[in-house]
Amino acid sequence: MSTDSLVDRQERLRIIAWCIEHELTMSEEDHQFIVKALYDIADGENPITSLNVKAKQGERRTKRQQNIAHDYFKIQHHIGGFISTAISPAKDGGLDLSVDDAIELLSRELPYTKETIRSIWNKNKELRSRDFKLSKD
């Protein structure tokens, strides 16, 4: 089994598929891999195993699942930054809100329950900063 991430293994299959679709040559290693996988599948083997796209524990198999996990990670940073700012005094640029009021406000704007937002706030103390950066990812 490969030590590459599931995303890397899926990208390899996309490249192989693109090469086949456009009738381009591929590396000998990729050629042998796809030929063996197709023969194994034809012989009744599990395609997920044969194509080496079995998700390990905690890995997301579909692009949608990967995007949801990535978005959730990003939103955690925004939640921490927003609540930190909202509970800060007005003289420091905050909103003078209580944590409960800030969570209530966020729950009306985000697709998360108050309980989820509170859980993110409580479990991620390192995100309780008014200084946070947005990435292009």
100 exposed, middle or buried (CB, 10 Å; 0-12, 13-18, 19+)?
exposed
- Total number of domains in the chain: 2
Domain for residue 81, yes or no? yes
Please give the pLDDT value at position 135: 47
Please give the pLDDT value at position 131: 62
Specify whether 68 is located in the same domain as 46. no
Specify whether 36 is located in the same domain as 13. yes
pTM assigned to the model: 0.46
Give the span between the Cα atoms of 37 and 45, in whole angstroms: 9
| Percent of the residues in the chain that have a pLDDT greater than 90, as a whole number | 23
Domain for residue 95, yes or no? yes
Domain for residue 137, yes or no? no
Specify whether 43 is located in the same domain as 69. no
Domain for residue 136, yes or no? no
Q: Which tens digits make up the pLDDT trace of 31-66?
A: 999 999 999 999 999 998 999 888 777 665 566 655
Domain for residue 120, yes or no? yes
Domain that holds residue 118: 63-127
Angle at 122 between CA 118 and CA 124, to 5 degrees: 115
**By three-state DSSP, how is residue 11 classified?**
helix
Specify whether 78 is located in the same domain as 122. yes
